[in-house]
A and B are shown apart, each in its own frame.
Chain A
């Protein structure tokens, strides 16, 4: 009956007219800037000049290790062989390695800041539902010709738009600052991937976006979790606190429990999909497909609980 776009516009208006949103954007920019300044002042640009000599020295080390130590595990051997091939390719085609004091190196090092984006999005998501209850505004919000699930969905979409906005800010600012501090010349450098024993050139932008995408899986799950907690308890402090606590300790708890097989059914054992790309899975036998299925199950369950609590329960605020 009612246009959901209007509901999303409302949520965005409430989001952007509150001071804390802009404080968050400022903190994000500040963190990138500080990262840039530290990288600039601590790295010696001299070292960059003869990178060819440096990586050929590295290759010799790798080779001698491979020949001297026969008992190396296969994963380590594969790793060395891959690095050797990529280094040789770099020397041959004149593509310098991705150091943090290059444009792309800086952009990639800023991917860690996505954790802060998640943090901010959790805070926004949790308070967007719970603060309506604690301030009593929920009453005037729900006596309108809009189904409750639509209002909840508009809040969910608005929180995601906020997250995407912050990611765009993070990427653009780290790219621009990286270019300004370390020159834009590196922008066209490709990403070197190792596919079936051969080095292939791939788009660096797509590679970085892929890394952003994987990092986002974690954020989406935490936001969904925050929504669930805030619809159940209708209390922002609890929803924010619990989500942030789990966001920071989830990985550690799962790590401590990794000797048990059942740990693979815990959400946090599955949200880090990079474990299948360049790392070893937490529990042997876990696959990317398994984790994706687990993530989808948790996602559906969280959303069902949110919807049920938001749509069906009495509003006594």
Chain B
């Protein structure tokens, strides 16, 4: 990683009552990267974010932001963080502008021009003087983003920011986050339960399930791996002979037999070899179909296939 670590999360645990919600999570987020925090509902994404932002105490472990401990040096640590936790809930009876004014007063030296600047950045110029209760969820997300960016933070923490956005809005958000990371060298931490959104937005993805971090991977590695492993379906006869034949070439764990079809997970490069072998053995080959494993499949695989933990 090129940047310096903005967030350092070291072996954090969280127990609520007797229940262990977060079980030993460790990772870093670097300046200039968009880090995706992916996990099914109830995995512990929001709980981790609450601890990062000092809303919840940390049962065990430490979180540092820009080198400041969120436990011991809260004010210094939080001064360089902007965020949204769950829904962007703001004062409904105030206008968008007054909400921003409210938050701007909680930092040192935010000028009126900066407020105007972030309003323009999130594209809320037309409705900023309307009461927030008249805003759509998408507009509230934009306002949420505006309040998070007011003080030019070095870390942006967004909890499921694509909720309520339409496809165009998601795309805009994606571009904005990439721009903030690349041009302003901000560390962006985004959580989501939807992998499809993450793969286009993030540089790295960490998968969390049941309070445990399963793995962290660069998105391009994720995608590269995807090309090499495929799921191949051979329509052949006789099936039993073909199965034995495949077994002699590759050690595949997953092979399903259905009528006259065999489904195998294997390397893309090995398909011709298998077909040649079939013909050599006198097995009739009626068809070969391949399907690349989507990230979605990988994600479901990694999380054990259950959406709700």
- A residues with a Cβ closer than 8 A to B are 1-2, 6-7, 9-10, 13-14, 17-19, 135-137, 139-140, 142-147, 314-316
Indicate if B194 sits at the interface (CB-CB under 8 A): no
- B residues with a Cβ closer than 8 A to A are 16, 50, 53-57, 74-76, 78-79, 81, 83-94, 98, 101-103, 105-108, 144, 147
Task: With both chains docked as a complex, state the minimum distance between the C-beta of B46 and any C-beta of chain A, in angstroms.
Answer: 9
Task: With both chains docked as a complex, state the minimum distance between the C-beta of B13 and any C-beta of chain A, in angstroms.
Answer: 14
Complex Cα distance A17/B92, Å?
11
Q: Are B55 and A315 in contact (CB under 8 A)?
A: yes
Complex Cα distance A171/B262, Å?
90
Max chain B Cβ within 10 angstroms of own Cβ: one of A17, A135, A137, A143: A143
- A10 and B92 contact, Cβ closer than 8 Å, known pairs A139-B85, A143-B83, A314-B55: no
- A7 and B55 contact, Cβ closer than 8 Å, known pairs A17-B94, A147-B75: no
Q: Are B89 and A143 in contact (CB under 8 A)?
A: no
Is chain B's interface secondary structure helix, strand, loop, or mixed overall?
loop
Instruction: Taking A7-B106, A145-B78 as given, write out 4 further A-B residue pairs in contact, using a Cβ cutoff of 8 Å, ordered by the A residue number.
Output: A14-B102, A140-B85, A140-B103, A143-B85
Give 7 CB contacts A-B under 8 Å.
A1-B75, A2-B108, A10-B102, A144-B106, A147-B75, A315-B50, A315-B55
Query: For A6, what are the chain B residues with a Cβ–Cβ distance below 8 Å?
Result: 105-106
CB-CB nearest in chain A for B88: A140
Q: Are B106 and A13 in contact (CB under 8 A)?
A: no
- Looking at the complex, which one of A10, A19, A146 makes contact with B75 (CB distance below 8 Å)? A146
Q: Are A135 and B92 in contact (CB under 8 A)?
A: yes
Query: For A140, what are the chain B residues with a Cβ–Cβ distance below 8 Å?
Result: 84-85, 88-90, 103, 144, 147
Task: With both chains docked as a complex, state the minimum distance between the C-beta of B109 and any C-beta of chain A, in angstroms.
Answer: 11
Query: For B78, what are the chain A residues with a Cβ–Cβ distance below 8 Å?
Result: 143-145
Max chain B Cβ within 10 angstroms of own Cβ: one of A17, A140, A315: A140
- A144 and B107 contact, Cβ closer than 8 Å, known pairs A13-B102, A314-B55, A315-B55: yes
Query: For A137, what are the chain B residues with a Cβ–Cβ distance below 8 Å?
Result: 89-91
Task: With both chains docked as a complex, state the minimum distance between the C-beta of A175 and any C-beta of chain B, in angstroms.
Answer: 33
Complex Cα distance A33/B190, Å?
57
Q: Are B54 and A142 in contact (CB under 8 A)?
A: yes
- Looking at the complex, which one of A135, A145, A147 makes contact with B79 (CB distance below 8 Å)? A145
Task: With both chains docked as a complex, state the minimum distance between the C-beta of A149 and any C-beta of chain B, in angstroms.
Answer: 12
Query: For B89, what are the chain A residues with a Cβ–Cβ distance below 8 Å?
Result: 135-137, 139-140
- A315 and B105 contact, Cβ closer than 8 Å, known pairs A137-B91, A139-B85: no
What are the 7 A-B residue pairs with the smallest beta carbon separation, nearest first?
Answer: A136-B89, A144-B106, A145-B79, A6-B105, A315-B55, A314-B56, A145-B75
- A314 and B57 contact, Cβ closer than 8 Å, known pairs A135-B92, A140-B90: yes
Query: For A147, what are the chain B residues with a Cβ–Cβ distance below 8 Å?
Result: 74-75
